[in-house]
């Protein structure tokens, strides 16, 4: 067989010995996910066809996180639909506000995704779990309704593009910079309906949180999935979180790839994506000095522990500029608690930042940081489309946590070296 890791996972879940790109397969799913925006649509579809029970109450996961805690009456009604359905179906994995956090942070954290599994979610950033060597992808709410009902879905087997990173990562450069640089190189449709396989010695040394960041943003290049090989770091991460057996898949040495890209990152600067596309990526030196009105550090892309530590390292003993506001949003309750236990909450508050409860919040223009016309925000989130974080005449710049934190201090885009 000459299969990639993505192809092997799909073949296994389709009950086939082999699959080829372009083939349509009926696959059994291991987990189905939805949130407070997408789940109500799926739930209404299930009610319309008279479904009494989901296929497995332990493998349907619902997380209110986008407009939760409830932003307004409409958001409250959406969350109530999700809550009532979760209780009626006796779902094991319903994470009410205060018990979870942002969906793509808490699912790996709680051991709900294992290597080799197939996960579908009614959210485009479901591709995050590829960091664990799983095949995970986003779908529309009606497709998710069918998966909730049957435990199956159909997929077209994607071609795979291989990305190889060599050299040594400079200080303050990490997974966010690697993926922004890659998207800047291939474009927002450069991996359209393809699996993005990340590899090379730089990836081998990259911490898990950096891998989650890269997999999370595969969709910003059009990717169907982002995926990593399972190594010792992966096994250490899942140890103690996952007790069930799982299967590790690896690409064959002669696996077929649609394309192979290689990057030497030794001289890479931190990367900033200018408005209004993630692919509008430039080295920090080309964005330095642009004045900001807001900084957001968090989200399903960079709201993990390593991200919080990096931001705190830059902000410690410093003050947020009077010219802007800085919002820090840890990705889960567990991370929030750890911030308290290890003193990082004080670092953020002493610096003049506001720390939010875990929520998607401003990332999608929800709340907790909406931009007015003419305002600019540098953010560790994943998208900077027109109007993404508020008014259509506002601007969003994407960066890593170190650059975002340094910019909060400076009042304009800059890095830790500028402090």
Average pLDDT over residues 345-363: 95
Q: 240 Cβ partners below 8 Å, 6+ apart?
A: none
Q: Which residue has the tokens 């071609």?
A: 159
pLDDT digits (tens, 9 = 90+) for 65-86: 999 899 999 999 999 999 999 9
Are residues 209 and 229 both part of a single domain? yes
Residue 275 CB-density burial (10 A; 0-12 exposed, 13-18 middle, 19+ buried): middle
What mean pLDDT value characterizes the chain? 96
Is residue 51 over pLDDT 90?
A: no
Are residues 198 and 220 both part of a single domain? yes
Q: Structure tokens of 399?
A: 């960066």
Q: Which of 235, 262, 289 is at the close of a domain?
A: 262
Q: Which of 262, 284, 319 is at the close of a domain?
A: 262
Is residue 49 over pLDDT 90?
A: no
Range list of H helices, 296-378 = 299-302, 305-315, 333-341, 344-351
Looking up residue 238, the CATH number of its domain turns out to be 3.30.499.10
Query: Residue 50 has what pLDDT?
Result: 86
Are residues 187 and 334 both part of a single domain? no
Are residues 283 and 167 both part of a single domain? no
Average pLDDT over residues 192-211: 97
Are residues 278 and 243 both part of a single domain? no
Are residues 124 and 209 both part of a single domain? yes
Give the separation between CA 158 and CA 160, rounded to whole angstroms.
6
Are residues 124 and 219 both part of a single domain? yes
Are residues 187 and 138 both part of a single domain? yes
pLDDT digits (tens, 9 = 90+) for 251-263: 999 999 999 999 9
Are residues 115 and 241 both part of a single domain? yes
Q: Structure tokens of 329?
A: 């949003």
- CA quadruple 33, 37, 42, 47: dihedral, nearest 10: 130
Are residues 105 and 200 both part of a single domain? yes
Average pLDDT over residues 384-404: 96
What order do you get walking across the sheet with 118-121 strand by strand?
A: 93-94, 60-63, 31-35, 118-121, 135-138
> Domain range holding 190?
5-262
Q: Picking from 43-52, 223-232, 374-383, which range would have the lowest pLDDT averaged per residue? A: 43-52
Structurally, the chain folds into a number of domains equal to 2
Query: Residue 52 has what pLDDT?
Result: 86
Is residue 38 over pLDDT 80?
A: yes
Are residues 59 and 109 both part of a single domain? yes
Residue 124 CB-density burial (10 A; 0-12 exposed, 13-18 middle, 19+ buried): middle
Give the separation between CA 331 and CA 302, rounded to whole angstroms.
8
Average pLDDT over residues 315-324: 97
pLDDT digits (tens, 9 = 90+) for 253-295: 999 999 999 999 999 999 999 999 999 999 999 999 999 999 9
- HEC letters along 18-75: CCCCCCEEEEECCEEEEECCCHHHHHHHHHHCCCCCCCCCCCEEEECCCCCCCCCHHH
Among 102, 299, 124, 363, smallest CA distance to 223 is for 124
Provide the whole-model pTM.
0.96
Query: Residue 168 has what pLDDT?
Result: 96
Q: Picking from 151-155, 317-321, 386-390, which range would have the lowest pLDDT averaged per residue? A: 386-390
Q: Structure tokens of 320?
A: 């947020």
Count the neighbouring beta carbons within 10 Å of the beta carbon of residue 99.
Answer: 11
Give the separation between CA 393 and CA 371, rounded to whole angstroms.
9
Q: Which of 244, 262, 280 is at the close of a domain?
A: 262
Query: Residue 288 has what pLDDT?
Result: 96
Average pLDDT over residues 110-126: 97
Are residues 127 and 210 both part of a single domain? yes
């Amino acid at each position: 067989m000459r299969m990639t890791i993505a192809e092997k996972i799909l073949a296994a879940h389709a009950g086939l010995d082999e699959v080829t790109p372009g083939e349509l397969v009926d696959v059994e799913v291991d987990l189905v996910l939805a949130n407070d925006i997408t789940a109500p649509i799926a739930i209404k579809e299930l009610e319309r066809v008279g479904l009494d029970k989901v296929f497995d109450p332990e493998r349907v996961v619902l997380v209110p996180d986008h407009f939760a805690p409830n932003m307004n009456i409409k958001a409250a009604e959406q969350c109530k639909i999700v809550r009532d359905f979760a209780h009626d179906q006796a779902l094991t994995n319903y994470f009410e506000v205060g018990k979870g956090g942002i969906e793509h942070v808490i699912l790996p954290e709680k051991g709900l995704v294992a290597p080799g599994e197939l996960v579908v979610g009614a959210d485009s950033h479901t591709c995050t779990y590829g960091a664990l060597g799983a095949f995970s992808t986003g779908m529309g709410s009606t497709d998710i309704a069918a998966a909730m009902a049957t435990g199956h879905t159909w997929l077209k087997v994607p071609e795979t593009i291989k990305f190889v990173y060599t050299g040594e990562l400079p200080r303050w450069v990490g997974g966010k910079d690697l993926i922004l640089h890659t998207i800047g190189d291939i474009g927002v449709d450069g991996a359209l309906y393809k699996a993005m396989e990340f590899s090379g010695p730089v990836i081998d040394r990259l911490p898990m949180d950096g891998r989650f960041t890269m997999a999370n943003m595969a969709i910003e290049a059009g990717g169907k999935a982002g995926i990593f090989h399972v190594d010792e770091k992966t096994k250490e991460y899942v140890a103690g979180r996952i007790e069930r057996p799982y299967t590790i898949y690896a690409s064959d040495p002669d696996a077929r790839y649609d394309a192979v890209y290689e990057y030497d990152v030794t001289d890479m600067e931190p990367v900033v994506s200018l408005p209004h596309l993630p692919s509008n990526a430039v080295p920090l030196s080309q964005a330095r000095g642009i004045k900001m009105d807001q900084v957001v550090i968090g989200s399903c892309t960079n709201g993990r522990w390593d991200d919080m530590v990096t931001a705190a390292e830059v902000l410690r003993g410093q003050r947020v500029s009077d010219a802007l506001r800085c919002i820090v949003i840890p990705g889960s309750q567990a991370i929030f608690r750890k911030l308290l236990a290890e003193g990082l909450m004080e670092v953020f508050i002493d610096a003049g930042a506001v720390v939010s409860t875990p929520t998607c919040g401003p990332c999608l223009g929800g709340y907790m940081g909406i931009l007015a016309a003419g305002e600019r925000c540098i953010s560790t989130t994943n998208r900077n489309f027109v109007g993404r974080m508020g008014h259509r005449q506002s601007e969003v710049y994407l960066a890593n946590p170190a650059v975002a934190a340094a910019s909060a201090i400076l009042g304009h885009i800059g890095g830790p070296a500028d402090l």
